[in-house]
Chains A and B, each alone.
Chain A
Amino acid sequence: MRRTVIAILSVVFIAFSLAVIGLAQDHSAEEVFYRANQAYKQGDFTQAAQAYGQLIEMGYANGHLYYNLGNSFFRSGQEGKAILMYERAYLLMPRDADLLFNMNYVKDQRVDALQEGQGVLASTFFWLNSLNLAEFYRVFVICNLLLFTALILRLFMNPSWMPPLIITAAFVWSAVAGSVAMKWYQVNFDDRAVVLEKEMDVLSGPQEGDTVLFRLHEGTIVYEERTEDQWVLIQLSADKRGWVRAESIEGVRM
């Protein structure tokens, strides 16, 4: 009996401690967020960027924080990092009007005149950019629920409208499941990277002395192919490929 009481008390204590730690962490995050916002308002954009970055490292990685971080980088004159953060924010909140406005504005400031493609996956399955991955999960859960509810009802009743309903539900379920898989692939295998340097030479090989093939400027989006030591093979288009130093670019994938 005594042992049971001790055990219950121990469980209650641990749960309470975890809740307190969680609350403390939440309070800490809110404080950091407040400080970051204040720094941004006062024009200390470097400080603001550090604070937003800290929040992301703490696990609060959401579209708003990446958006704020992008703004802070842009204000501090780092257009490349700003575009990188906006691209990450776009994966998380693709319909946010502020983000779309700022991203277009900052991309307009880039030096390189390049037509930015959406990629084969996103242009073929155009609806992939309408929702983020979490929203796709929710839509899938709803479709899953509807399909199996219809199948369960089919076991008990079989009116004439049931077969077309099940076929339609199965079709929608398959389409949504496919979309979830493609979106998951798009987010987790995103090979885009953003140029962070003001000006960057693209070489014919992974060595300093190799021929300069072409020159890119800050904010341009390239596609990473493979990495060797501290060098990355990038592709801009079918006829524009070359090697750059790894620290000159940063991948969009989070």
Chain B
Amino acid sequence: MKRFAFLLAAFMMLVSSSLSAADEVTLSLDRTEATTADSVKMTVGISVSGHSGSPVIQGITDFHISPGGTSTNIEFVNGRMSKRTDYIYYIQPVKPGTYHIGPAEVRIGGRAYRSNTVELLVSKASDAAGQPPEQVFLKAEVSKKRSYVQEPLIYLLKLYRRLEVGNLSLNLPEISDLNFRKLGDPLEYQSNYAGQQYNVLELRYEIVAEHAGKYTIEGASMGMTVYEPRTSRTRSPFSDPFFMFSSGRPAKFTSDAIELEIVPLPTEGRPDDFSSLVGTYEIASSVEPAGIAWGESASLTVTLSGAGNVTCMPDIELPGIKQVKVYADQPVLETRPTARGFEGTKTMKWALVPQAEGTFVIPSVKVNFFDSAQDRYRTISTEPQVLTVSPRLEPAPDTAGDAGLSGKAGPVKSRVEELGRDILPNHTSMKDLSGGLYRTPKGMFFWLWVLLPPLAYAAAALVMRFHKRSHEQLSRIRSRGALKVFVKRCRHKEMNAVELIDALEEYFNSRFVLSLGTLTPDEAGKILKKRGVSQDTCLEMMDALAMLHDAVYTGRGEKRLDLGDDLVRILKKAEKEFG
């Protein structure tokens, strides 16, 4: 009983710990860089089941904080409910600096949960004093006005607005030798400019200059529709902001031009094998596994990562290693946009197959680059790695205990070694005498099998064609006889409407190989028209048939009519006009 209670307690502990591990509290910012004039959106997400109060966040004493509300998201996945509550805050830094915000802490059911921390770099807002504040304007900035060739720069475009805008379109300046690459999605936040609160739409681009020189980045222009607020003093019955703006007017805003100086990379200290890499980089290597048995292989991984012109990261060549066969894998380059430009990681792998036992030293590999932060060339290299190759592992010899457990153990395995070389013997069976050269297709049977199927197909096609033609001829003969039959029926006696309709249906069915139940005037017209009969004749036939139908549906169906001759005339006329 005690044992059962212990197991139950252990199980409960396991379950509760797994639940805690699955829950989490996260802290995130919508950006990693801001100015003292900007407000940053901070979100604390709580996925812990149970009731919690507002989170307590550390590291925000130097910020103005405005709560932005909460949102809750409930999901059912595979019958399990998961709930996530996001607490949103807008924080505005008071002074510049680098801030570590977090962790956010919540207490649920007597237990404390802590989030991660995030870093925010705050710079001083540009001095906008003296400038007349406008309702909407576009501002462009670059991270540095003087930089090196191939050194990435950040081009920042901010649309400040105090009015509602829509239908935005952007025209970036086009300058040869300057490549623009978009960095992430546009950001929206609030910022203070010249004492006014604005909504800001921020777009970031990375610029890389191919050649040295002085460049002027012309202003970027943004087209949009601006919605002015209504001037009427009467309050709208709808207190929705949408109704507080008039219909928009088109507008275009242009940012100021920016002067840029690109200088060439210094020649002093430039390595001979400089790879044109600019930025900040790190290199690391590892051998997995570090110890193997002879005949097995290990994998060497070299990772080059950093920020800068990451697409220029070179493919590293591994120096030859004695008694180790090296097979290079295809390098993999992964890039990701950040607020400070593109970061990248290039992973290069080699399979190492030692040809002997012992210890092998994998030599270090190096990469050089220009460190734009330190204004000098740097060479980084990996640590030499050691690979130990032990003798081939042979299966352990059979032991009495093992044999007793498994019953039969296999013999000790050994490598098959070549002891001698020779050719295999002759083929001496009498059946080896059969068979021939077949240099060219010979024999009646071959040609019979090749020619018989197409001949059979041709014969079958001919038979089918003849059969079809006979059927068509028969139909034609029948259709020609249809008029004769109709004429005979009509001239034999005066007929009533029902009989005439019946005769007409028989004519149409026979003449055109149809199986109509009831012939309406429209159908008759369509059938004749389709066969190339003129419009007048079709109308005549439709009128006559409509007259017959009228007679039938007005109770005069049994009354004798003298329409037979007219119908014969119309049909004869139609026969002449058939295509």
Contact = CB atoms under 8 A, between A and B. Distances in A.
Judge: A and B partners, yes or no. yes
Interface of A: 29-30, 33, 37, 40, 55, 59-65, 67-68, 71-72, 74-75, 92, 98, 101-102, 105-106, 132-134, 137, 140-141, 144-145, 147-149, 151-152, 155-156, 184, 187-188, 254
Contact of A67 (B427, B449, B450): B427
29 contacts: A29-B433, A33-B428, A33-B430, A55-B433, A60-B433, A60-B436, A64-B435, A65-B432, A67-B426, A68-B428, A71-B423, A71-B425, A98-B424, A98-B425, A101-B424, A102-B423, A105-B423, A132-B438, A134-B435, A134-B438, A144-B449, A144-B453, A144-B454, A148-B453, A151-B457, A152-B456, A152-B457, A152-B460, A155-B464
B461 interface: yes
A144 B450 contact: yes
B421 interface: yes
Given A67-B427, A75-B423, A98-B427, 5 more contacts: A33-B430, A59-B436, A62-B432, A62-B433, A133-B439
B423 A141 contact: no
Given A33-B430, A71-B423, A152-B456, A141 B436 contact: no
A64 B437 contact: no
A218 B454 CA distance: 50
Contacts of B454: 144, 148
A40 B426 CA distance: 8
A101 B426 CA distance: 12
Contacts of A140: 450
A141 B450 CA distance: 6
B441 interface: yes
Contacts of A148: 453-454, 456-457
**Chain A interface, DSSP helix/strand/loop, else mixed:** helix
B434 interface: yes
A74 B423 contact: yes
A92 B436 CA distance: 9
A71 B456 CA distance: 48
Classify chain B: how many residues form its interface, as a range. Answer: 20 to 34
Contacts of A106: 423
Contacts of B61: none
A62 B434 contact: yes
Nearest to A26: B433
Contacts of A60: 433, 436
A80 to B, nearest CB: 15
B450 A254 contact: no
B440 interface: yes
A227 B197 CA distance: 96
B446 interface: yes
Contacts of B446: 137, 141
A64 B427 contact: yes
B433 A102 contact: no
Nearest to B461: A155
Most chain B C-beta atoms within 10 Å of own C-beta, residue among A64, A75, A102, A149? A64
Nearest to A103: B423
A254 B437 CA distance: 9
A221 B508 CA distance: 82
B65 to A, nearest CB: 68
B436 A149 contact: no
A152 B456 CA distance: 8
Interface string B408-425: 000000000000011111
Contact of A61 (B428, B436, B453): B436
Contacts of B457: 148, 151-152, 155
Contacts of B460: 152, 155
Contacts of B426: 37, 40, 67-68, 71-72
Interface string B441-485: 100001001100110110011001000000000000000000000
B437 A62 contact: yes
B430 A30 contact: yes
A101 B423 CA distance: 7
Contact of B438 (A55, A137, A141): A137
A219 to B, nearest CB: 14
A39 to B, nearest CB: 10
Contacts of A29: 433
Nearest to B425: A71
A141 B456 contact: no
